[in-house]
Amino acid sequence: MFDLSATELSAAIKAKKISVTEAVSAYIERVEKNDKTLNAFVTVSKENALARAAEVQRRIDGGEALSPLAGVPVAVKDNISVKGVETACASKTLGGYVPVFSATVVERLEQAGMIIMGKLNMDEFAMGGSSETGARGAVHNPWDVSRVAGGSSGGSAAAVVSGEIPAALGSDTGGSIRQPCSFCGATGIKPTYGSVSRYGLIAYASSLDQIGPIGRDADDCAALLSVISGADEKDSTCVIKKPFDFPADCPSAAGLKIGVPRNYFGAGIDESVKKAVLAAAEEFKAAGYGVEDFEMPMMDYMVPAYYIIACAEASSNLSRYDGLKYGYRNADAKTLSDVYRLSRSEGFGIEVKRRIMLGSFVLSSGYYDAYYKKALQARYLIKEAYDALFGRFDMLISPVAPTSAYKIGENVGEPVKMYMGDIYTVSVNLAGLPAIALPCGFDEKALPVGFQLIGSAFSEKTLVGAARLYQSRTDFHTRRAPTGGEPQ
Amino acid sequence: MIIDGKLLEYLENLSCLTLSDGEKERLSADLGEILSFMERLGELDAAGVPERSHPFDDVNAFREDEAGGSFDRSLILRNAPEKNGEAFIAPKTVE
């Protein structure tokens, strides 16, 4: 059963080869057995999941038409609200917080007949690229447990590739779905901004955040994105009119052109990553796509612009944590000011404090124009550059990260080095574009390497068509991590 | 960029944080390094370029302006560290 993809598992359930309860029980058992090593889960909702499994089985037996993912267990990142289940963003600040409502995406998963099996570990408040900064400890990479799983959706990617869950949701503010997929060998989609509701997603940077699927292949991600996308009256920025639909004949190859940003393959990228991604571009050429290289404008300004904007929005969003309404409160504070300051100072970890203070700085009087205003202007130019490129190309192919997974603790204390690891992903969020990340090889340390396809706004169908074609010609996505793998 | 004690204290106040001595040392060095890195934006000629705070021009899809239900107060209060039956409890601010 663990070899089945999410859509195959649902088909097996509907064909009565396996029951929903058997599937959910088997996955729970697997998490209980293996997750002490990986630390991908922060919560397993055993009782709820088994009760839901019985209910969904009754609906299937009753002939109810459910989705192509009905009966399949799924888990969500710990920043996505699930009614009645602790949702802490892997932070002491939100420890014990139990939402009284579910995120729209969670409601949609449940309407589709999926079983929410638990919450997945992450960087605290999604601020990080290694899933090391959370209050619940680091997520370990299933290919080598001495290494990071990437972040911030590291728990989601690690759980999927280790077979602890067939599919998962993550969130992507500057690469947080794509980079852990690359580090762990999973497939993931960062959807167009405004295509998936953010209602119930605990905010980091609201103009950049987007929830998306992580799965074993493009088909599973497409099926999951069909379920969670679509307009939502609870999120006015969700401007999409209707959910995505990914028929078997999504456009691929004929007449489509892929651009390769040649300056993404210069200094700073590992040779093995460069080789694997360029080989993927060759694969598309062999499959009939037009492939041509170009110079990506604005490359030097992407990471500074992203971190200025993301931190500015974070400093505002995280001002809600005051020690009064929910979450952690210092027990000894006597004045209102002390409640605020002591609760926040004791509740937030160092990376969150760093980003709040950076955000406060770039928005402060005297620095606003040189930093925040300039970053917004850079964002305008980045978006313009992409608009011009999509007049020439149907999609772009690029690395996801300059390296494969590094050792746990290796980059802690080197924030600029860590931030530069986001060089290939952040501009996609600044421009609100969709991108799909998928595995394209392994490096000399036997660690997965991924690439991303970036499309114009709402071109998910074209991206999925290309990803399906690539995965029909390669087998990198079918290779399974040795769960609880030993350090190499 | 040098983050001196005065600027760090200003940022602590803006951020509503009180840092430990160890955090002060670490963050003043980190923030200085990160802001120096961000200064490369200064090289960008952006004269006359508009500011973009949202990815798209079509920002909002509004729903009808109709009153809907709300959450039960007792449920909301369950998450509060200190509360009575009706409200969050905060230290007195006016004597």
Tens of pLDDT, residues B41-92: 999 999 999 999 999 987 789 999 999 889 999 999 999 999 998 999 999 9
Return the structure tokens found at A243. 């959910």
Interface contact B88-A324, CB threshold 8 A: yes
Q: How far apart are CA B74 and CA A328, in angstroms?
A: 19
Residue span of the structural domain in which A302 resides: 1-488
Indicate the residue type of A66. Answer: L
**Crossing angle for the helix pair A350-363 and A299-317, to the nearest 10 degrees:** 100
The pLDDT of residue A485 is above 60: no
Q: Say whether the peptide bond before residue A427 is cis (omega within 30 degrees of 0).
A: no
Q: Is residue B48 part of a domain?
A: no
Reported as a pLDDT band with limits 50, 70 and 90, residue A483 is low
Contact residues on chain B for A375, CB-CB shorter than 8 A: 41
Contact A364 B10 (CB under 8 A): yes
Asked if residue B56 belongs to a domain, the reply is no
| Calpha distance A430→B53 (Å, rounded) | 9
Summarised one tens digit per residue, pLDDT across range A394-415 is: 999 999 999 999 999 999 889 9
**Tell me, what CATH number does A50's domain have?**
3.90.1300.10
The tokens describing A432, both together, are 């609100």
* Known catalytic membership, residue A176: yes
Rounded to an integer, what distance in angstroms lies between the CA atom of residue A59 and that of residue A278? 47
Mean pLDDT score of chain A, rounded to an integer? 96
Number of domains in chain A: 1
Tens digit of pLDDT for each residue in A75-112? 999 999 999 999 999 999 999 999 999 999 999 999 99
Interface probe with B: pick from A206, A338, A353, most Cβ of B within 10 Å: A353
B72/A236 Cβ within 8 A? no
Please give the Cα distance from A383 to A22 (Å, whole number): 48
B58/A415 CB distance under 8 A: no
CA distance readout (Å), A247 to A223, A438, A459, B24: 10, 20, 14, 55
- CB–CB of B19 and A348 under 8 A? no
User: Across residues B21-39, what is the average pLDDT?
Assistant: 96
Q: What are B65's two structure tokens? A: 């302006």
Q: How confident is the model at residue B1 (pLDDT cuts 50, 70, 90)?
A: confident
Chain A residues near residue B63 by CB distance under 8 angstroms:
233, 236
What mean pLDDT is predicted for residues A385-390?
98
Does residue A121 carry a pLDDT above 70? Answer: yes
Task: Give the model's confidence band at A349: pLDDT under 50 very low, under 70 low, under 90 confident, else very high.
Answer: very high
Contacts of A407 (CB under 8 A, 6+ apart): A146, A147, A148
ipTM surpasses 0.90: yes
pLDDT for A23 equals 98
In the stretch 44-63 of chain B, residues with CB closer than 8 A to chain A read: 44, 46, 49-56, 58-63
Count how many domains chain B has.
1
CATH of residue B17's domain is 1.10.20
Residue the block writes with tokens 């969130």: A171
The per-residue pLDDT for A488 is 38
Q: What is the pLDDT of residue A480?
A: 87
Closest residue in A to B54 (Cα) is A207
What digits encode the pLDDT tens for the residues A192-223?
999 999 999 999 999 999 999 999 999 999 99
Beta bridge partners of A450: A439
- List CB contacts of A438: < 8 A, sequence separation 6 or more: A181, A187, A217, A218, A450, A451, A452, A453, A467, A470, A471, A476, A477
Q: What is the pLDDT of residue A487?
A: 42
A406: nearest Cα among A67, A151, A233, A83: A151
Taking only the tens place, the pLDDT of each residue in A433-465 is 999 999 999 999 999 999 999 999 999 999 999
pLDDT at A351: 96
Q: Which pLDDT value is given to residue A253? A: 81
Cα–Cα distance between A481 and A483 in angstroms, integer?
6
Within a domain: B16: yes
Quote the DSSP letter at residue A191.
P
What contacts B36, CB < 8 A, 6 or more positions away?
Answer: B1
**Range of the structural domain that residue B37 is part of:** 5-43
A374 among known catalytic residues: no
Domain assignment of residue B63, yes or no: no
Q: Is the pLDDT of residue B26 over 80?
A: yes
Torsion over CA of A65, A3, A246 and A53, rounded to 10 degrees? Answer: 30
Identify all chain A residues contacting B90, using CB atoms and an 8 Å cutoff: 324, 336, 339
Structure confidence by residue, pLDDT tens digits, A300-341: 999 999 999 999 999 999 999 999 999 999 999 999 999 999
